A and B are shown apart, each in its own frame.
Chain A
Amino acid sequence: DTAVSQTPKYLVTQMGNDKSIKCEQNLGHDTMYWYKQDSKKFLKIMFSYNNKELIINETVPNRFSPKSPDKAHLNLHINSLELGDSAVYFCASSHKGRNTGELFFGEGSRLTVL
C-alpha cells in the first residue's frame, strides 16, 4: 500500500479553470503538508494541517484553498488557474512534532496550465 497517495498524477488544464488535487495518507500521521516544486526544482512549503487544523499558511494566493475533511486527507483546490501555477505539487505527512524529523512525501501531481 502506498503510504501517501496523490491524485491525479498529471493534470493539464486551461487558464481560468478550477481544479483539485487529492491526498491521502495511511500512516496514521497527525500532520499533512502541501509543497510546490517549480521548474527550477525549488521546493516550497504552502500549507500544513495538524489534525484538520490549519497551522502553516505561507504566502500563497487566495486562489489556493486547502481542505482537510479528516486527518488522513488533505486536498488542494485551486481557483482561476494561472500559467504560473504550473508546477509539481507534493503532499507529505509526518507525526506531530516530527520527532524523527521525517516527512513522507507522495509521488507528486504535475499540473500544467495552458
Chain B
Amino acid sequence: LAKTTQPISMDSYEGQEVNITCSHNNIATNDYITWYQQFPSQGPRFIIQGYKTKVTNEVASLFIPADRKSSTLSLPRVSLSDTAVYYCLVDSNQAGTALIFGKGTTLSVSS
C-alpha cells in the first residue's frame, strides 16, 4: 500500500505558483521522498527527490520539514502544459523493491 496521502485534485490558473502537499506520517529513517508527473497517455516521469530541507531543480522545488512527516512540491508559474497527475512517493531506494504509487493529485491548469 502507498504510504502517502495527497489531495485528489487541484485547480490553478496559468502563471500561479502551485503547492501540492503530501502526508507521510510513517516515513522511515532511510526513506526518500520522490515526486513523479504523469501526462495523459504517457508514463510517469521523475520530477524531484529529497531527504530533508529543500531541494530545487529546473522544474520544481521540494520542501521537507524537519520531522519529514510531510512534504510540499512547489511548481512556480504553472502553464497549461503542467496539467497532469502528480504522485508523491516515499521509498528507501533499496535493491529488490519497487516504487509503490498512490492515486496522485490531478492538477488542472486553466487560462
Contacts and interface: CB of A to CB of B under 8 A. Distances in A.
B93 A99 contact: yes
Contacts of A104: 46
A92 B34 CA distance: 16
Interface in B33-92: 34, 36, 41-46, 49, 85, 87, 91
A108 B49 contact: no
Interface size class of B (residues with CB under 8 A): 20 to 34
Interface string A72-114: 0000000000000000001010001111111111111000000
A66 B32 CA distance: 29
Given A41-B85, A41-B104, A42-B103, A103 B46 contact: yes
Contacts of B13: none
B93 A97 contact: yes
B95 A96 contact: yes
A50 B96 contact: yes
A11 interface: no
A33 B43 contact: no
Main secondary structure of the interface of B (DSSP, over half): loop
B44 to A, nearest CB: 5
Contact of A90 (B32, B34, B43, B104): B43
A103 B103 CA distance: 17
B96 A56 contact: yes
Given A50-B95, A90-B43, A92-B43, A102 B49 contact: yes
A45 B99 contact: yes
B43 A101 contact: no
Given A56-B98, A100-B49, 4 more contacts: A48-B98, A101-B49, A108-B41, A108-B43
Interface of B: 32, 34, 36, 41-46, 49, 85, 87, 91, 93-101, 103-104
14 contacts: A33-B98, A40-B103, A42-B101, A42-B103, A43-B44, A43-B87, A45-B99, A45-B100, A48-B96, A56-B96, A90-B44, A92-B43, A98-B99, A101-B46
